[in-house]
Amino acid sequence: MPRLQQCTDLTVLIGRMHADLQVYCEAVEKLSRRDGVTTLDDAYARSEHARLSFEASRERLRTHIAQHQCVH
Ligand SMILES: [Zn+2]
């Protein structure tokens, strides 16, 4: 795979990371507004879960770039 070729996998991974980040931001916002929050623990668990998803997709992206040496 030539280095300067646009990588579709990378585009997908970036899109997923942005989507996960969006979910995380919304979860944190809800947590801070106590919006639809039954218990604080519950809201915190949800935002933590979203954070872990985001970090996992960020890690997948980083690993892909390291292994594939591709550009966006
Ligand atoms: Zn790639």
SS3 labels along 18-53: HHHHHHHHHHHHHHHHCCCCCCHHHHHHHHHHHHHH
**Whole-number Å distance between alpha carbons of 58 and 40:** 27
Q: Ligand 1 centroid vs 68 CA: distance in angstroms?
A: 5
Question: Which two tokens mark 10?
Answer: 């990378």
* Model pTM score: 0.80
CA–CA gap between residue 49 and residue 32 (Å, rounded): 16
Render pLDDT for 11-63 as a digit per residue (tens, 0 to 9): 999 999 999 999 999 999 988 888 776 788 888 899 999 999 999 999 999 99
**How remote is the CA of residue 26 from the centroid of ligand 1, in Å?**
29
Ligand 1 center–CA 2 separation, angstroms = 10
Q: Is the dihedral of CA 14, 15, 20, 22 positive or negative?
A: positive
Expressed in angstroms and rounded, the spacing between residue 36 Cα and the centre of ligand 1 is 39
